[in-house]
Structure 1
Amino acid sequence: MPYFQARLNRCRHSPAGPFCPNPTVGARRPMIRRDYADALRGFALIGICIVNVPFMAWGLLPFPEPASFWDSVARALTVGAFEAKFFILFSFLFGFGLALQARAEAAGTLPTGAYPRRLWGLLILGIAHGSLLFPGDILTGYALLGAIVWRLRAASEAVLRRTAFMGWLFALPAFGVLDWLSQTGGVPTPEDAATLLAAYRGGWGDILTQRVADWGLVALLVLPLYNGPMALAAFALGVIAGRKNLLADPSSVQDFCRRYGAVVWGGAVVGNGIAVAGLLLGADRLPISLPALALGGPCLALLYAGGLARLSGTWVYRRLAKAGQVSLSLYLGQSLAVNGVIHGFDLFARLSPAVCLILAVAVATGLILLAGPWLSAFRYGPAEWLLRCWTYRAWLPFRR
């Protein structure tokens, strides 16, 4: 997450997370998969890893200035193509899955209280993930926002549209506040930086203690101001999409992108262009560069969704769809693998932006390719299985 690290001095982050409730209608009914939604989740896992790895590699320390041309390219690419895009995609998919769960509840095929239990399980996983592996965990935020949106499951489309608009509208000043906070008090003192560095290069006990402290800061400051408003907006739009079953046919997304292409492309180019310009010029010279991501992020996320629809039926699309079926496990697996590399080889605060990008792509791709063989032997990913057992209060079959 190079741009955030430069702009926020490692005190804000755009954590991304993949969990979206599986579109199933009961613990013992056959699983109904929607390949396009799964493929979107699998695709977003790549962007999530690219955004999150620099934060794992540097924590709340200021990210270093690029030491080479390739470092500059990696930072600009991360800002322009990945940051503030993929957590929006997954938030939309979360809302989509929530609508399917609400439909199942109304039809009597979802056990009473199952979805609230799912959210409690997700909250527990998020707390464990944030405190043990990755302070930028998004699962906790998804669980809390999911509880709000679940109460809106029967709301009219007009109410959901207004909720989405208000969430997006609030994101603009929220991003500005986050930017101001980072520039007025986000630079750690040399003493604090030395303490943080010593902790993350120390033993596992030191690492976990510091990670809990970092997670508290991110959860209290970054999630409410950065992820929360945009995620709420995407949740609401996802509920609308789920009601209309818009993701059943990928061509509908392509049609939308064609119909509103000029507006979407314009928002993507302008918003992300300003964000990249802010990276190159400096936050003090272009203070609107972070709020600009509130425009550029959703627009580019929509274009990504339309582009993926064009790959429907291809080998890549099928691999991504498999990964999407175990996206929660892969999201947690990314954190586990990257932490193993960074702390296992004493690489904390030693990886350049270009190396972070390479590591992220390698980890994400490797885990995506493992999803197919895993699902040949098992019904679910390990995290999905645990969450479903918790949700339905039953030990479900794991192996095929």
Structure 2
Amino acid sequence: MNQNQPVSFKERIHEIDGIRGFALLGILMMNIMAFAGPDIEDSLNPERSEIYTGFWNELSLFFINTFFTTNFFTMFSFLFGLGFFIFLSRAEQKGKNLAPLFYRRMFVLLIFGLLHGIFLWYGDILWTYAIAGALLFFFYRLSPKVNVIIAVLILTMITGLILLGALALFLMGDQSMAGFAFEIGMTDAIRSGSYSEVVSMNMTLLGISVSGMIFVVPIVLAMFLIGLSFGQMRVFENLPAHMNMIKKLAWYGLGIGLPIKIVTGYFTTYAGDNDIYSTLGQLSSSLGGPLMSLGYVALMLILMKHFKGLVKVLQPVGQMALTNYIGQTIIMLLIFYVGGLFNRVDAIYFVPIVLVVFTVQIILSKMWMSNFSYGPLEWIWRTLTYLNVMPIKKKGV
């Protein structure tokens, strides 16, 4: 057997793929707000587009902001950290030189992210994962307890900074965005502009997102470390032995996280024009989202234990998560950019659109994985990581 080969299907932990598939549903649910309209531009202006306003539209956004926004990019971050441990530990068992292998993997992910963010959609998260992932390598040898402590300290520090920021705004008495406007012209660029204008818009918005790295990367890294610690503790390799801990995690994660997300979801949806409430809404990323994501992971493990079919449905989607993540962008761009529906579909339709698109992805993923060992982008990623052309077709197919 070629020692450069990645994990085979039989070696995979299918529950991880299943949860990764569920995370893809949540990622699409939170991203559709930006695919369908100028959400990021509106967030920088005092007024919102009509598709985001009105009782039913705002109620739909409140639902998404509470149960999905920040809960799933933090869940994906957790899964990335877990996958990082599995990748490195198995490479180590084969006697591989870990640093070149891992950093080659992160470099390819960075290229994927930049290509995706510039030429398709500005909301890419892969490049952020690649940068935070490069830092994660230095924590591989630390104990799981130390990694969890560091993660908690990072999230606590960011939470404290958010609270201090809100307090400072309160003391200054500046509580509204009146008079502030930042025009990008997204709707015109997407509806009537050329492709080069869309690319230029993507680069502008990517530049804005780079300025937020100081806030996002530490949160991503913290969730990476928690995922890494779960891998170090071999939680997913022996789920029955850790079921009591998993049940407690579900109770505490959802029990504490949900009230926080209801409050921050309300602030984000209904009080975005108030600087103080908008700042407090960021607690969704540093506190509510991480708690909810861990609660969701634990709840999914409990459900998968009792409903085995859930793993079978979601596992193919999660096994080709990179392909499906980029695939979601392509489908959404076809609907809203090419189809001319950008800033024309009310938010009340976001949830049903996502459910239909994700159902299509479930079907296509099942068909693809019945014949191939990896998703197409996963195959490219693995081939460039191992510098070895992997066989993609399943034997006997």
State TM-score, norm by structure 2. Answer: 0.85
Matches within 5 A, 1:227-376: 227-251=216-240, 254-259=243-248, 263-279=252-268, 281-283=270-272, 284=274, 286=277, 287-312=279-304, 313-376=307-370
Structure 1 alignment gaps of length 5 or more: 1-23
Residue aligned with 2:370, SS:
helix
- Offset, 1:346: 1.2
2:83 is aligned, of 97, 100, 103, to 97
State TM-score, norm by structure 1. Answer: 0.84
> Partner letter of residue 200 of structure 1?
I
C-alpha distance in structure 2 between counterparts of 1:55 and 1:344, whole Å:
15
1:217 is aligned, of 179, 189, 208, to 208
Contact 1:329 1:384 in 2 (8 A): yes
Q: Deviations over 1:352-373 (max 9, x none)?
A: 2122332222222211221111
Aligned identity (percent) is 24
Contact 2:103 2:134 in 1 (8 A): yes
- Offset, 1:126: 0.5
Moved more, 228-237 or 284-293: 284-293
| TM-aligned CA distance change 1:29 to 1:133, over 3 Å | closer
What does residue 12 of structure 1 align with? none
- 1:61 aligned onto 2:41: yes
Moved more, 267-276 or 172-181: 172-181
- Offset, 1:331: 0.3
Moved more, 106-115 or 38-47: 106-115
Contact 2:122 2:205 in 1 (8 A): yes
Residue aligned with 1:248, SS:
coil
| TM-aligned CA distance change 1:251 to 1:230, over 3 Å | farther
2:181 is aligned, of 167, 175, 188, to 188
Q: Deviations over 1:308-341 (max 9, x none)?
A: 1233253332111111100010001001110111
| TM-aligned CA distance change 1:109 to 1:380, over 3 Å | farther
> Partner letter of residue 353 of structure 2?
L
What does residue 388 of structure 2 align with? 394
What does residue 107 of structure 1 align with? 93
Contact 1:176 1:290 in 2 (8 A): no
Residue aligned with 1:310, SS:
helix
What does residue 123 of structure 2 align with? 136
2:28 is aligned, of 49, 65, 69, to 49
| TM-aligned CA distance change 1:117 to 1:133, over 3 Å | same
- Offset, 1:68: 4.5
C-alpha distance in structure 2 between counterparts of 1:75 and 1:182, whole Å:
23
Contact 2:144 2:232 in 1 (8 A): no
Q: Which has the higher contact order (CA 8 A, sep 6+)?
A: 2
Contact 1:272 1:293 in 2 (8 A): no
Contact 1:111 1:392 in 2 (8 A): no
What does residue 7 of structure 1 align with? none
Q: Give the alignment's Cα RMSD to 1 decimal.
A: 2.8
Contact 1:26 1:111 in 2 (8 A): no
| TM-aligned CA distance change 1:308 to 1:374, over 3 Å | same
C-alpha distance in structure 2 between counterparts of 1:25 and 1:254, whole Å:
34
Moved more, 28-37 or 380-389: 28-37
Residue aligned with 1:114, SS:
helix
